[in-house]
Structure formats: C-alpha cells, structure tokens
Structure 1
C-alpha cells in the first residue's frame, strides 16, 4: 500500500485562525495543512471569509484565502469548469470538485481535506502517481491488429458510439476511487472504480480488437474482484457517472466468455 509520510505523532493539531475584513456574512473554512518536508504534525487552520467579498464556489473561497490571506496554502486547480479534475478534494466528508461546489451548498463551517487515503504532497495536494500508473496499466488507447483503412477513419455506427456514453466523460479526478473502502485497503493491487470504468470504456469500443487480452488482464482476484458493490463511487462521482455498473459489466463479460 502507499506509505504516508507522517510524523510518529500524527494527530492533527489545532492551527492558526485568519480573519477577513468585511461586514457581510462570515463563513469559517477549516483547511487541512500538512507539509511532509517540514517534519511537523498536520494541523487545521481556520479562515473567516466574508461571503459578500468572495465568488460563489468553494474554489473561489480557497483562491481568496491563498491570494489575500495565506499565500502558503497549496492546492491544485486549472479549468474552473469541472473538466480537468485538478481540484478534487474532500469537503465535509464528501469527495467533490471545488470548482463545481457552491459555498451555499454547505451548512456551517466548511471542512476541507485532501482526497482520503492517498499520500499528501502538501496541504490539499494528493500524490496521484500510483493512480496514474494504474490508469496506464489498462492501456487506455485503441489496440488493433488490422491495418487502418487507407481512405478513412475506423468507423462506428451510431449505436456503437452510444455504448461509450457514461464512460468517456470520466475526468480521472479520483473522487470515486478514493471514496472506495476496498481501494483504501487494497490500492496496491485493486485498480479501483475510476480505472476499471476506463478499462470498460475500451472493452466496449467497437474499434478495439484486443478485448480478449484486456479481459485476461482484468481477471484477477484483486484487480477487479475487490469491488464489493459498496456504491460510494457512483454516489460521489462529480460527473454523474456509474463506475459500479461498468465494473459489473466487466464481471458479466468474464462470466459469459466461460
């Protein structure tokens, strides 16, 4: 399993408090802070934000904190449109994208942590190296043996293309995988919901000619069958996808080919 670089006494300690000037509604944002290189315990800093001086989304709040209150805060962000998956984090116990989560959706203090059960690089930045290596292991590209047509692309019917709906939209934010208890304890061998959904995306692509090889790779007690249909993955997916269904479809294909 991934090793967490925590001090021997890894209890999260109370942190600092920052106040925001302004006369509007004040919202507390509790943010997990941890720098493995510093050798200090994790802590939770509290930032008092004036909602009238901040954008509507949680990412707006975090950027206001970083830009105006505490420049040492580390987080990932890019598109601000729920497309890149960079700002995935755990907020009030739920894995979400900060850019598509409205401050108004949360009652009381907002508690922000990095994605659970992953090594922390710093503060809200989880180490995605292992997750991306698992994604690469399923060969996420069209694999063919026949040469491509000389005068056109490899074509699909409308019905064949529709089989990819609900699969290709995955943005690899890891919200689903890091919400899965099976992935927490077996991530060294279990591929997890996000990667298995991606694997199924290529299995059902009519242009791919390596379905048998892909199923052979997945027929493993840990890679696939550590899914116990807990459904956390489907509940938390910010794109509304259903990784649990994709995993079930892979299992069905394995049974049918026997």
Structure 2
C-alpha cells in the first residue's frame, strides 16, 4: 500500500522546470525559461523534457538516444549536479522545482546542447583502443578474469563527459586532456593484450596538460553516473610513469639473466 500511495502522489504532482536557454545565432546572452510538467508514474527528467518539447516549446533542444543510461548522450546539469537525464526519476528528486543547465566547460551551441569536440579531441589524442601484437592480430583476443577485474570499472565509462564538465582543471586549461581520456588510457595500460610502445605514450602525457594536470579533488568521481573513478586511474597512471625507468631496468636485467 505504501508504494501505491507514492505512485498516486507523484502522478498528482506538478514539477516546475527552470531550463537554461541560449541560441548563439540570435541571443545576446543566456536566460532561463520555466515550464510546468504534470508527472506520471516512472517519469524521468528526460521524459519530462520531451513532454515540454512536444507540448509547450518545440524549439527546446537537447541530446538523447538510448533512454537507458547506456549511450551518455543526455548528460546535463540537474539541480547543480552532472547526471544523465534518462537516469533520474522525478519521484526521486527532493523538490518539485528542477533546475536544468548544460554541461560546463563546453561552448554552448543551443540550449542544452554543447560542442563536444574538445572532449573527443582529447579522447582521440590518447589513442584509447586496443593495439595487439603482431602475433595476436588474428583470432580472438581473450583476457583473463583477473585482468578483467583490474580494468572493469574503466570499461564501464560511457563517455558521457559528466566528469569533463565537472573538472576544475578543464575549466582553466583548455589543453588539459581531462578525466575520461586519461582514465580510458589507463584501462589499456592495464590490459594484458595491449602491446603498444608505451614509452612514446608516456612521453606525450608527461606534462601539466596530461597526467600531471589533475588536482586530485575527485570532482570527476562524484560526477560519474556509472561509478567509475577516473582519479584512481590517473593516479595509477602517474605511478606507472614514475616507476617506468625501474620497470625497464628490471626487464633488461631479467632478459640478460635468461641468456
């Protein structure tokens, strides 16, 4: 009976959405516009935005795709916190007043849509894809359960850019690669199947715009809707870079002893 009472309450409740609006083609500056939405059972923030777009203002724009917290397209600021609009149900919000804003640290194209190119540029720069050895290019590329457990949380990243929007370093350094790119890279460092020349990669990252730029304040960890901890990956990447001379020496000695 208790759950039924909650469902009745939510369906009777009207939510007030205060939404960031801006069209760089015609607006002199951003402003907020308010819309009221009558909630339905199980309604998410994304569904409410779609309802506003359909019934009240078709000019309101935002990104979305899967509606199931898989693609990351609908990332935005909801009541001051980065999140996925498809993931947040109205019934779980603390108040019927909902503030919706675009992700920070990006140029705004229109309303809640931002230019993601800086994020993707940083992502491409670290080459976050598997580079197997010559003998492993054919057939299956299997990973052990132990190795999978080591990289599992970083595999869960859906590239929604919530962490990028929350990062204080990105806000002051447009050349900083950002949490997602660096954490994704560490995922391949720990992947036993990857045989790239890591020395070249480390040289590219050994600067304040790469591995050493992070403030280690864990804003990215708080922002991630998939419970990924990018700061952990960045710190582990730093340790690997500091220890690499000793790792090379140990490998050389082991090779010499085997001869």
Structure 2-normalised TM-score?
0.85
Q: Which residue of 2 aligns with 1:200?
A: 186
Larger radius of gyration: 2
Deviations 1:88-140 (A, max 9, x none): 00011100000001112321410000001210110000110111011011112
Take 2:143 and 2:28, find their aligned partners in 1: how far apart are those partners? 56
Q: Which residue of 1 aligns with 2:75?
A: 88
Q: Report if the CA contact (8 A) 1:190-1:224 is conserved.
A: no
Q: Which residue of 1 aligns with 2:129?
A: 141
Q: Report if the CA contact (8 A) 1:164-1:204 is conserved.
A: yes
Mapping for residues 165-184 of structure 1, pairs under 5 Å: 165-184=152-171
Partner SS for 1:80: coil
Mapping for residues 1-258 of structure 1, pairs under 5 Å: 24-52=12-40, 55-106=42-93, 107-148=95-136, 152-186=139-173, 188-210=174-196, 211-258=198-245
Take 1:70 and 1:122, find their aligned partners in 2: how far apart are those partners? 14
Structure 1-normalised TM-score?
0.86
Higher helix share: 2
Take 2:46 and 2:179, find their aligned partners in 1: how far apart are those partners? 25
Take 2:18 and 2:116, find their aligned partners in 1: how far apart are those partners? 23
Partner SS for 2:65: coil
Take 1:154 and 1:95, find their aligned partners in 2: how far apart are those partners? 35
Take 2:231 and 2:76, find their aligned partners in 1: how far apart are those partners? 21
Runs of 4+ with >3 A deviation? none
Partner SS for 2:86: helix
Take 1:33 and 1:81, find their aligned partners in 2: how far apart are those partners? 25
